[in-house]
């Protein structure tokens, strides 16, 4: 025979519903943890995208800088050619001034022009494959008697500004255009 218990006949104990409180507590804890995980994931995704943009900007700056330095080192830079022409003009002017002296002209001219700095600055801009603007400024300082040049490159791309600098040996200065 089945017995039916009516609510008013049943006694409620203090232990009933305790497991339901644990379930509610764990569901709440799980929701808090999942919201925290989503927020952390969103932060890491943004950081990864920014890091990727930074790496691309850095790579672009390095490629521009290294290609210009290589052109200077190989004597294929038009900017260096202009500076070398200016150096040749200064050398010719000093030779003309010292024609009447008995001093060794070659060494005297080298001493005179050793600390002379020849400098030029170029700027340009372009749009990269993503459609983002990129601006570049390159400063070339040459010391032909010493056989060295200094290249400073400022690049602004992808929201990042980069500055790179290098000392470049000129090699054979007579072969520079």
pLDDT mean over 3-29: 69
pLDDT at 175 (0 to 100): 45
Query: Token digits for 95?
Result: 């030779």
pLDDT mean over 47-54: 79
Position 159 pLDDT exceeds 90: no
Long-range contacts of the stretch 44-49 (C-beta < 8 A, 24+): none
Contacts with 35 (C-beta within 8 Å, 6 or more apart), sequence order: none
Give residue 176's pLDDT band: very low, low, confident or very high (50, 70, 90). very low
Give residue 129's pLDDT band: very low, low, confident or very high (50, 70, 90). confident
Q: What is the pTM of this model?
A: 0.66
pLDDT mean over 64-70: 94
Query: Which of the residue ranges 9-13, 27-31, 173-177 has the most confident prediction, judged by mean pLDDT?
Result: 27-31
pLDDT at 9 (0 to 100): 52
Weakest-pLDDT range from 8-12, 135-139, 152-156:
8-12
Query: Token digits for 170?
Result: 């000129």
Phi/psi class of residue 64: alpha, beta or left (left: φ > 0; alpha: ψ in -120 to 50)?
A: alpha
pLDDT at 47 (0 to 100): 77
Give residue 7's pLDDT band: very low, low, confident or very high (50, 70, 90). low
Contacts with 85 (C-beta within 8 Å, 6 or more apart), sequence order: none
pLDDT at 106 (0 to 100): 59
Beta bridge partners of 134: 126, 157
Q: Where do runs of H (alpha helix) occur along 8-17?
A: none
Q: Work out whether strand 148-157 and strand 133-143 pair parallel, antiparallel, or are unpaired.
A: antiparallel
The count of other CB atoms within 10 Å of the CB of residue 172 is: 9
Q: What is the pLDDT of residues 80-98, one digit of tens each?
A: 999 999 988 988 887 777 7
């Amino acid at each position: 025979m089945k017995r039916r218990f009516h609510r008013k006949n049943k006694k409620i104990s203090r232990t009933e519903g305790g497991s339901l409180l644990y379930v509610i507590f764990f569901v709440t804890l799980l929701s808090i943890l999942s919201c925290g995980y989503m927020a952390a994931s969103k932060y890491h995704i943004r950081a990864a995208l920014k890091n990727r943009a930074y790496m691309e900007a850095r790579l672009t700056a390095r490629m521009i800088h290294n290609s210009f330095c290589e052109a200077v080192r190989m004597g294929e830079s038009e900017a260096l050619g202009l500076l070398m022409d200016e150096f040749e003009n200064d050398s010719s002017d000093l030779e003309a001034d010292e024609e009447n002296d008995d001093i060794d002209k070659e060494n005297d001219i080298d001493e005179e022009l050793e600390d002379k700095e020849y400098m030029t600055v170029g700027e340009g801009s372009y749009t990269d494959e993503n459609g983002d603007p990129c601006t570049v400024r390159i400063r070339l300082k040459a010391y032909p008697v010493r056989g060295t040049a200094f290249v400073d490159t400022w690049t602004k791309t992808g929201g990042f500004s980069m500055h790179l600098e290098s000392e470049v040996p000129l090699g054979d200065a007579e072969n520079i255009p």
